[in-house]
Amino acid sequence: MHIIKVCTGCSCDKNFSAESIQKAEHVLDIKVGETTKDGQFRLEKTGCLSHCELGPNVLFCKADGPLSAVMIDGEVKNNMLPHRLEAELKSLKENS
Ligand code: FES
């Protein structure tokens, strides 16, 4: 499962993270806090990821076990504006 955590901290919010979340919801056909029907993607909000000047930032994690066992050891990707996050998610979907 891919866990997509979009930062909603102040700096990312000013850099359109809300719009990126809307785009992710559309691409994945779920709302924040939900998992896709096929169990491949989960969309979440997160607090500051400490890359503020490069926002909006998104943490991409993978989990092979129960969500309660997920470690925060994913990769933070910067400048995840709506169109860039859309492209990233589509690429992940094609390769899942
Ligand atoms: S506010 Fe998003 S990384 Fe700090």
Q: Is 27 in the pocket of ligand 1 (CB under 6 A)?
A: no
Q: Is 2 in the pocket of ligand 1 (CB under 6 A)?
A: no
Cα–ligand 1 centroid distance for 44 (angstroms)? 15
Give SS3 for 85: helix
Instruction: Note the pLDDT of residue 65.
Output: 58
**Domains along the chain with CATH numbers:** 2-94 (3.40.30.10)
The model's pLDDT over 22-71, given as tens digits with 9 standing for 90+, comes to 999 999 999 999 999 999 999 999 999 999 999 999 999 888 655 555 55
Which residue type sits at 48? C
Which residue type sits at 81? L
The model's pLDDT over 63-79, given as tens digits with 9 standing for 90+, comes to 865 555 555 568 999 99
Stated pTM of the model: 0.91
Cα–ligand 1 centroid distance for 20 (angstroms)? 14
Instruction: Note the pLDDT of residue 95.
Output: 86
